[in-house]
Amino acid sequence: MTFAPPPHSPSQPGRRNFFSSAAKLTAAGSLIGLGAAGTTTAAAPANCAKASGALARPTVRHYALSRVRLEDRFEFDGGKVMSTQTALYTLEIRDGKIARILPQGAQLPGALPHYDAQGLLLLPALRDMHTHLDKTFYGEPWQAPRRGKTIVEMIAIEEKLIPRLLPKSQERAEKLIELMHSKGTTVARSHCNIDPVSGLKSLEHLQLALARHRDSLACEIVAFPQHGLLRSGIEPLMREAVKMGVQYIGGLDPTNVDTHMEKSLDTTFGLALDTGAGIDFHLHEAAPTGLAAVNYIIGQVEANPKLRGKVTLSHAFVLASLDDGQLAELAGRMTAQKISLASTLPLGKGVMPLPQLAERGVFVMTGTDSITDHWLPFGNCDMLEKANLYAQLYRKLDEFQLSRSLAIATGNVLPLNDQGQRAWPLPGDSASGVLVAASCSAEAVARLPARAAVLHDGRVVYGGFDKEATGKNKAAG
């Protein structure tokens, strides 16, 4: 959970539309863009405004999805990308994978259930790589945060709040997951409090929520000592959390909260090395302690090759205060150790040097840091909006740069590579992605169309299909 200037995220928490699970599969259905009637995309290539009538989703693991718009190449003018060329394809989806990508109109086995994407653009799955599904007010009546002045004051507030939130934390997490799906997110990393107030209960509730969405959300968990690892004496609980299945050891401001940087970080790294877990460390501290912590963390990974590729710095606001030389040096070391960075894209004086880090090879991710909670009132779980914010914040304004901005929200998965060749989807890829009424990913980043349908491993987890069947595999158009 961040303790810094919040990212700009208009608060429009909506509710997912629920569909009848009993809706009947038809021989051919057409995708409906629920909520897409309000899309800002002028060049919507499909009629996706219909939002009435019964809806269906595939109930089988082998089907065809026709008239899917995929990006084919860039159009160049004098070496500069001027536009993105797309075409319509039929995807044969089998056992959660894209088995074949066929030209629109190709002959398919007649018995194969067949759905119609109506020309909507398929984007890669969206990823919220820093959230706190265990702590949110979402689903409750509106309340603004009561902020403390320091992180220690915030912890004191939380110690009283957590017992009140805990009884319904599973229910709220599930509502948040449904909101995430409505925005296209099907991959996430959630921190989860491990603290003396809730013990392992927050984790138990989160795992129950995730178990009920195991077919729609791929979610890693970070055991997060929000009240301090040393300060709250929870090292044994952290070990229990790993036994319960968390993939990452979390951490928090080793000087400001634990008051002993080296001992705190040594304990964190000891836990990771003992258990085989990775590390995802919240670091809000400014220089000099924040910089010392970054250096110490990188040094620990350099000294323990088993952790290479398994460590993430979350926030790391101190990186925004470094000069070019310091940043280049740290970025080089982070890249060598495959240390990733998760950032919420903060505004204001703490604007992070994310493009500079990415250009030097640091894997940069973004996340919501949860929404509507006792830390921040903002957020709607829209990771495409994070890509849009990235483009605005770093002036990525042309076709090429807008299209590249999508990477922050997709784990660097982009439809076209920098040379304009199709990089995604390819046969064998997971049948996961987001269908939107946009002509290309640059337009989607700029104009934020509503999500019409969301696929995760071949399953439709948001949106649905028109029950009115045409029964034909429509030709390209």
Minimum distance from residue 282 beta carbon to Zn ion (Å): 6
Minimum distance from residue 255 beta carbon to Zn ion (Å): 18
Instruction: Kindly tell me which of 1 and 206 has the beta carbon lying closer to Zn ion.
Output: 1
Buried b (16+ CB within 10 A) or exposed e, 354-368: bbbbbeeebbbbbbb
Minimum distance from residue 284 beta carbon to Zn ion (Å): 9
Residues 330-349 that bind Zn ion (CB under 5 A): none
Instruction: Kindly tell me which of 178 and 369 has the beta carbon lying closer to Zn ion.
Output: 369
Instruction: Kindly tell me which of 174 and 369 has the beta carbon lying closer to Zn ion.
Output: 369
Instruction: Kindly tell me which of 369 and 466 has the beta carbon lying closer to Zn ion.
Output: 369
SS3 state at 220: strand
Minimum distance from residue 220 beta carbon to Zn ion (Å): 14
Stretch that binds Zn ion, among 284-292, 367-375, 386-394, 399-407 (CB under 5 A): 367-375
Q: Which residues contact 207 (CB under 8 A, 6 or more apart)?
A: 221, 244, 245
Q: Which of left, alpha, beta for 322 (phi over 0: left; psi -120 to 50: alpha)?
A: beta
Q: Is 1 in the site for Zn ion (CB under 5 A)?
A: yes
SS3 state at 343: strand
Instruction: Kindly tell me which of 71 and 128 has the beta carbon lying closer to Zn ion.
Output: 128
Closest by CA to 441, choosing from 184, 188, 216, is 184
CA separation, residue 19 to residues 52, 221, 353 (Å):
11, 29, 42
Closest by CA to 197, choosing from 156, 140, 230, is 156
Minimum distance from residue 314 beta carbon to Zn ion (Å): 6
Number of residues near Zn ion (by CB under 5 A):
2
Instruction: Kindly tell me which of 1 and 294 has the beta carbon lying closer to Zn ion.
Output: 1
Minimum distance from residue 342 beta carbon to Zn ion (Å): 8
CA 147/CA 155 separation, integer angstroms: 10
Residue 399 near residue 416 (C-beta atoms within 8 A) = no
Closest by CA to 317, choosing from 377, 386, 369, 267, is 369
The site string for Zn ion over 117-156 (x = CB under 5 A, - otherwise) reads ----------------------------------------
Instruction: Kindly tell me which of 192 and 434 has the beta carbon lying closer to Zn ion.
Output: 192
Q: Is 369 in the site for Zn ion (CB under 5 A)?
A: yes
Stretch that binds Zn ion, among 46-54, 246-254, 361-369, 377-385 (CB under 5 A): 361-369
Closest by CA to 420, choosing from 61, 54, 179, 71, is 71
Stretch that binds Zn ion, among 33-41, 263-271, 272-280, 363-371 (CB under 5 A): 363-371
Closest by CA to 320, choosing from 352, 361, 281, is 352
SS3 state at 352: coil
Stretch that binds Zn ion, among 140-148, 156-164, 301-309, 364-372 (CB under 5 A): 364-372
Instruction: Kindly tell me which of 92 and 253 has the beta carbon lying closer to Zn ion.
Output: 253
What does the binding site for Zn ion look like in residue numbers (CB under 5 A)? 1, 369
